[in-house]
Structure 1
Amino acid sequence: MAKLVDKVKVITTVVEAGVPDEIELIRIPSLEVEKVSWPLPEPRRLLRTVREEEGKFDIKHFLKIDYPTSWGVLACRRGRILTVDNFPGIDYDHGDLFINSASLVYVFLSSKCLLRRFDGLISFSTISLATAERLGFRIRPREVIPLGVDTDMIKPDERLGAEVRERLGLDGPVALFVGRLSPVKGIRYLCRALEILDRAGLKLDVMVVGRGPEGYRLERLRTRVKNVRIYMLGFRPDPFGFYNAADFVLLPSLGEGCPNVVLEAFACAKPVVATAVGGVPDLVEPGRTGLLVRPKDVEGLASAISEMAEDPHLARKMGLNARRYAEEALRWPIILRRVLRFYEEVLSSGGP
């Protein structure tokens, strides 16, 4: 994006390595709040900085209604855009009742206070766009625009996949899970589905790339199953060899925004078996690029995994469709052009 516009400046509480030289950063000090694990910007400093900078830019683009930095919109007058991936506690299930309840209260109040102040809304999903409308967002333009993927860097590689298969001793249909092993990823329901398949005698190798508090469920399951073999591979910064070794990818989440796992699977020509949450239904065309089930539907998840595992021709065909879709609609240059057109539409509308 920085190469497509005259100037980009980012106001943030966290500065990470790898930021391009074209992007200027302003770091806002964070408040130290006990038992809060994410950074909370110092409110007066945030508002003052946004007020000082906003007149220098045509577009002021905020990310996520649940990020405290979104309150910076109070210091802006026009050209205000919000991107939402979901509304935690409302259309996003953390898999934890307490977190869902706390998120619902904060996100509902934030939405009521802030949504009407934006001049345009980009959503990662049709689901969250509808949520925004229910919460009172009435302004146009509004549009569903997903994240993108680098299809030149992330691509099918049979040799790399074969190396992983040989190293791990994979010889049957192979499924892959990539992600943090947390309640929101539906690990509990994946384990129950795999138990059903094991009892039915399905031969399946499952690679698990990631770590987290729900990992114990998979560790416990792998000692009980006989036909399903589970490979706990831990966190890997470069998981693309595992994508290429798999026949299909699993995403049994309770909540999602626009999941990179689906984008990366498609770029590697792999279909997905996923739950219809967040932006997943906007990406996955059932029967063409993957299979969708309801969240927490253990029987449905087991059936979809079985269908994919027992028909390798179907999996390959859907994988090729997924790669074609990624090339035609999800490459970053395509996504960025859509965002730029959206910026132009917001500026031409003149705000509310």
Structure 2
Amino acid sequence: MITVIHVRNSNYPGGVETTLLGWVKEANREAFNHRLFIFAEPKGVHLRSARVMRDQGLDSEVLPWGVYKNLFGAVKQLVGEIRRSPNPIVHSHDTRADVVGLLAARITNAPFVISNHAWHAVGFKRWLLEFIRAQVMRFADYVINVSEDTHKETVRRGIDPAKSITIYSGIDLSVFLDAPDKSSARASLGIDPGDFVIGDIARLWPEKAIDKLLDATSLLLEKHPNVKTLIVGDGPLEQELVDYAKARGLESHVRFLGFREDVANLLSAFDVFALPSSAEGTPMVIYSAMAMALPIVASACSGVAEVLEDKRTALLCPPADATAIAAAISSIIQDPDLGSRLGAEAKQVVFQNYSAEQAIRKLEDLYRRLAHAG
């Protein structure tokens, strides 16, 4: 039995958590035991992530951290868990987890891998975190990138190309096989049958460029007054975005639904999925929208442009370009057959190439090599 100890700073459940749940569901349970360690945060904001992960079947525990940034306590607890685990491998998923994971792995001589979900520093703090992350990566056994573009940037930042690999995250596709029909999903959200619904599911961070989707909504309303935009997710910019929507007079056309776990139900209610981001890795919600055969309008950045093909499986736009997003969505409103063709092709591609089962088999091969090497 190989024990994979995942470490994650998880305040707001998002794509990384969806990735982990998909991997665990498809994992070889006879050969691998996956466990997750989440850092404690002030006001207990980490507890929701821990609950969501436990409810979905991933053994999750909390590492000390809090307002005093208890690095020693977190490393000490993780070292103890590693020493109690058979054939441990430490797998970290963000900068804080990288630092704690590396220290604990070196103390215990356990293999150490890093999942790199994106490079997209916005502001000095994020730049500093990515700088620290790049330094830690030099000491990892492997860096697992979610796209070729992310891999290239990892190598550009000085990581040994032999240690930097690409494994597309994949998604648990079974979740979308029994999704509710559109009318039921819309009724549950109080949406009128005649509305055209644009949706995005994202953590509300700067790089998600939700303000650009609000700008696009304003432009679309000039020609399509039945447009409604649903923003699903929470994060530090939530109130700022709510205020921005009010300032633009969009209160009756934009709804902020907060954090939701019923992703398939929400996607069923959408007519188009929009991803206006200024930077991305390969967001899990793209796979979800593809699995639901939704027409997608997305920024052509990093892994997004690797998974989606313009005019075949999506309409791709320059990153964070409200005018281009609005124009692409308008073309789908005016030509429903275009949307249907894009959605059908995208669904076929995701089921063929991007399942969680495909991803976890590749990861398990890597884990085995590391365990045997030790």
TM-score, length basis structure 2: 0.75
Q: Report the CA distance between 1:322 and its aligned residue.
A: 1.8
Residue by residue, what CA displacement relative to the aligned partner does 1:231-262 show, whole Å, maximum 9, x if unpaired? 44444331423311222101112233432321
2:194 paired residue number: 171
Counterpart of 2:303 in structure 1 is 279
Q: Give yes or no for the alignment of 1:311 onto 2:335.
A: yes
Of 18-27 and 251-260, more deviation after overlay is shown by 18-27
Query: Helix, strand or coil for the counterpart of 1:19?
Result: helix
Task: Indicate whether 1:130 and 2:152 are aligned.
Answer: yes
Per the TM alignment, residue 337 of structure 1 is displaced from its structure 2 partner at its CA by 0.9
Change (3 A) 1:153 1:26: closer
Q: Distance in 1 between matches of 2:319 and 2:345?
A: 24
Distance 1:82 1:199, change over 3 A: same
**CA contact under 8 A between 2:102 and 2:140: conserved in structure 1?**
no
Label 1:126 to 1:7 Cα distance change in 2 as closer, same or farther (>3 A). same
Matched residues, number: 331
| Alpha carbons of structure 1 residues 79 and 209: separation in structure 2 relative to 1, 3 Å | closer
Question: Structure 2 vs 1, CA of residues 176 and 148 (structure 1 numbering), >3 Å: closer, same or farther?
Answer: same
Given that 2:175 and 2:264 are in contact with CA atoms closer than 8 Å, whether structure 1 keeps it comes out as no
- Counterpart in 2 of 1:19? 54
CA contact (8 A) 1:174 1:248 kept: yes
Answer whether contact 1:176 1:206 (CA < 8 A) is retained: yes
> Whole-Å Cα distance in 1 between the matches of residues 299 and 370 of structure 2?
33
Equivalent of residue 30 in structure 1, options 51, 55, 65: 65
- Three-state SS of the structure 2 residue aligned to 1:174 is strand
TM superposition shift of 1:122: 0.8
Superposed displacement of residue 119, structure 1: 1.7
Paired AA for residue 316 in structure 1: S
Separation in 1, partners of 2:84, 2:64: 17
C-alpha displacement at 1:136, in angstroms? 1.4
| Matched position secondary structure for 1:153 | helix
1:146 aligns with 2:181: no
Deviations 1:96-148 (A, max 9, x none): xxxx2022123213422x22212222111223212211221115253222333
- Structure in which a larger fraction of residues adopt helix: 2
1:197 equivalent in structure 2:
220
Percent of pairs with identical residues: 21
Counterpart of 1:219 (choices 226, 231, 246) is: 246
Shift of 1:52: 3.3
1:74 pairs with 2:106:
yes
Q: 1:156 to 1:233 in 2, by over 3 A?
A: same
Task: Kindly indicate whether residue 235 of structure 2 is the aligned counterpart of residue 209 of structure 1.
Answer: no
1:183–1:215 distance in 2 versus 1, CA, 3 Å: farther
Residues in 2 aligned to 1:234 and 1:47: alpha-carbon distance in whole angstroms: 32
Task: Provide the residue aligned with 1:97 in structure 2.
Answer: none
How far residue 309 of structure 1 moved from its aligned partner, in angstroms, is 2.3
Give SS of 1:140's match.
helix
SS in structure 1 at match of 2:173: coil
Alignment of 1:207-286 (within 5 A): 207-211=230-234, 212-213=238-239, 214-223=241-250, 229-286=253-310
- 1:148-163 pair list within 5 angstroms: 148-155=170-177, 157=179, 160-163=181-184
* Alignment deviations for residues 171-198 of structure 1 (CA, whole Å, 9 cap, x no partner): 1543212234443321221222222233
CA shift, 1:3, in A, is 1.0
In the aligned structure 2, how far is the partner of 1:270 from the partner of 1:310? Answer: 16
Structure 2 unaligned segments of length 5 or more: list them.
1-26, 41-46
Quick one: distance in 2 between partners of 1:252 and 1:146? 21
Give the match's secondary structure for 1:264. helix
Matched residue SS, 2:87: coil
Alignment partner, residue 143 of structure 2: 121
SS of corresponding position for 2:231: strand
Cα deviation digits, residues 63-103 of structure 1 (max 9, x gap): 234534333343354632211112xxxx3144xxxxx2022
- How far apart, in 1, do the equivalents of 2:222 and 2:357 lie? 46
Residue in 2 aligned with 1:323? 347
Q: Does the residue aligned with 1:262 lie in a helix, a strand or coil?
A: helix
Pairwise CA distance, 1:269: 1.4
Gap runs ≥5 in structure 1: 95-99
**Residue equivalent to 1:64:** 94
CA shift at 1:156, angstroms?
A: 6.7
**Structure 2 letter corresponding to 1:5:** A
Letter in 2 for 1:32: V
CA distance in 1, matches of 2:56, 2:299: 38
Q: Distance in 2 between matches of 1:31 and 1:239?
A: 30
Q: CA 1:234 to 1:20, structure 2 compared with 1: closer, same or farther past 3 Å?
A: closer
Question: Given residue 79 of structure 1, which amino acid in structure 2 is its aligned partner?
Answer: P
